[in-house]
Structure 1
Amino acid sequence: YLLIHNPIEQERYSVVSVNVNSPRVKLLSPLGKPVTVQISAIWDGATTVSHEAYQISFVAHLPPLGIGVYQLLEVQSSEAVSTDYNIYMRNSRQEKPDRLFNIKEMQNSVDNIILENSYMKLWFSGMSGLLEKINTKEDGKNHQMKVEFAWYGTTSNRDKSGAYLFLPDGDAKPYIFTDPPTIRVAHGRIFSEVVCFFHHVTHTMRLYNVQGLEGQSLEVSNIVDIRGEYNRELAMRISSDINSQNRFYTDLNGYQIQPRLTTSKLPLQANVYPMTTMAYIQDVGARLTLHSAQSLGVASLKNGQLEVIMDRRLMQDDNRGLGQGVQDNKITANVFRLLLEKRHGTDV
C-alpha cells in the first residue's frame, strides 16, 4: 500500500514516483480503479540500465489536506507503459537491445532535441543538451530561454571568498566542456526529460504531461560535484528575451516578495541576493519565475537573466569567525521549477 498525503489546502493532481523491484505492476486508486502508470529505468551511470529496480510514476489525485491509499500489485502481464530512451553520445556504440525499454543510441548532432506537452514545446541543443527556446501554445509565441553554467573564481587580494564573503575575480567565465556530454532523452506518457552528463554537474530538465501547474512548469535538477576544484563557484544562468530592465524580485523567507535593482556602479557581489523559495523577472508581456526547493544566492546581472549559485568550494577562512574554508562539499542535488507565464495588464 502507498499512503499519500496532500499537506496543502487545495485539491491536487500531482505526479508521484516510487521505486519497485519488478516491471510487472498494476496500481489501484483509493476507489479501486486502475491507474495509468509509466515505468522508467533506474540507471547505473549515464548509459547502463539497472535491472535490480525500476521506477513507476503516476498522477495522484488528492483532496485538500487529504490522504489517499493506493494499492500496488505485482501481476503476470503489466499494463504499465514503458519509457522510450534516446542516448546521444560522441562515439555511439550500439549495445544489445534491452528486454523492457526501447533504447536507441545516436551521435551528438547539431539538430535540436524537442520535448512537448499540451502547454508548451521545448527546444534543446543537440550538442550540449541544454534548453534553448520555449514555445507557449496558449499564444503561439517563441521565447528565447537559454540555460548555461558558469564559473566564478576569487580575487587575488589578501581578502578572498569564504563561507560568509563572496569576492569574485570579475564576471563569471563560461563553463566549457571539451567533449560533448552524453545526453539521455526519455519520452513517456506521464513525463519526458533530457539529462546531460557534464564533468561537474548532471543537469535534468523534466516536462510533465499532466494538466494544471505541474504541466505548465519545467522541473530542473542539478546534481553538482565540485569536490576536485580549487577556489571556484558554479552558477546556473538562465538568459531570456524578457526586458527586465535590471529589475528582479526575490522572496524574504517565503513571506513576501522584495523588488531588487541591479546597479552597475556597485561591485558584482553587491547585486547578489538570497533566494529562499523563489526569484522572478518580468516585463509587460511575460514573467519568468524560478521556484527553488533550497535556499541559494541569486542575481540578475544582465537584462533578461537570472543566475543562481549552485555550489562553492573555497580553500581559505574569510575571518568571519568560522575558522575554516568551504571544503566539506557533498554531492548536492538542487531542484527548481521554471515557470513562464503570460502577463495581463501592466502593473509594475
Structure 2
Amino acid sequence: MTLLRETGFLILGYANRYSPDAIESALPDVAAARAAWKAAGRDIAERLSRVAGTLGLDARTLDAAILACARLGMRHGRLGQDFHAYHNELHALEVAERRLLRLSGALGPDALPKEDAAALLLFACGHDLRQRESVDVPGPVGGNEAASVAETFRVLDACGFDRDQDRNQYVALELMIAGSTFDARPQPLPDPHTDDLPVVAGGALARGLALWLDSEHPHWREDAAARRGERLSRLSADLDTANVGEDFPLLCETAIRLCREREMRSGRDTDSAASAAPCLGFLGPGQQYYFFELHHFSSREGERVFGPQKALNGPRVRETTAALQALFATEPPENGEAVIRAFAGLTGA
C-alpha cells in the first residue's frame, strides 16, 4: 500500500470526473481502432508500430497508443467531423515519431528506460484526447487535460493494463498529461506585499508542477511513482513543445496549424476580414512571445536535444516577426489567409 492510496488510487483524482462519450463507445478497443484506420486508408497504426518497434516496447503499449490515437482522430482529426488543425492525430505522430525517436536516438539506447519510453509514447497519443471540455478542475490543470487523463486511464484498462500492477504508468501519465497544461496568458508579477509567488510563470505547467504538488499534496515526494511521474512530466512537456527546437520551417508550420485552429475555435473564418488582425498578432508578435517568453525547457534531456536548434531559430523568429509586420505596415491584410500566405512565404512553412 503506497502512501497516496489514502487520497484515491492516484494523486490528482481526475479518473472518475469525466465520463466516457460517444467516441469511446464507437472505438471501444484496439481492434476497432485498427479497423477505423484501415477503412480510412491511413497508415497511422503502421507508423506507431514502427515507433514502438524502434523503442522495443511491448504489445500492450502499442495497442493503447493506436487506440488513443484513433479516438483523437475520430474526435478532432481525419476520422471525424470536428477537425482541429493542430490537435489531431498528426500532432500525436509528430510527438511520437519525430520528437520521441529523435530524443531516444540522441540520448542513446541506455539513457531512456523502456518503461519511460512507453510512458512517453502513451503521452504522445493520449495527452490531447479531449479538446472541448467545458468543466474545469480546481487548480492550474486544464479541463481538457484532466479529461484526457480520465480517458487515457480507460484506454489503458481496455488494452490490458492493470491499475494495481501497472500503477507506475498510470501515475506517470496522470502527472505527464496534467503537466502539459499550457498557459499562454500574460502572467502577473509577484505581490511585493506578500510571500506568494506564482506557481508557474506561463507556459507548460510541468515547470511548476512540483511546487503545486508540494502545496496541494505535501507527501507526494514520498511516493517513488509520483517522483518518476513529475520527472517525466517535464520531459514530456519538452516533447510537446519541441517545435521550438526543430527545423525552422517545421516550427512555422506548427504555428500555422495552431493559428488555423485558434481561429476556428474563436468562430472566425480565415477568409474573413475579422480574422486578419488576430492572425497577424498570433503569427507575428505572438510567435515571438511564445518562443522567448512562454517557452522554457523543463528537463535537461529536452534542452540537450532540442536546445541547440532553438538557439539557431531565435534570430529567425525575430526577423520573421519584423518582416511580417513590415509587409502590412502601410496596408492591413485583407483577411487571415493573406497573413498565413505571407508568413508561409517568409518562412518556407
Q: Which has the higher helix share?
A: 2
Considering fraction of residues, name the structure with more strand: 1
Q: TM-score, with normalisation over the residues of structure 1?
A: 0.23
Q: TM-score normalized by structure 2?
A: 0.23
Structure whose alpha-carbon radius of gyration is higher? 1
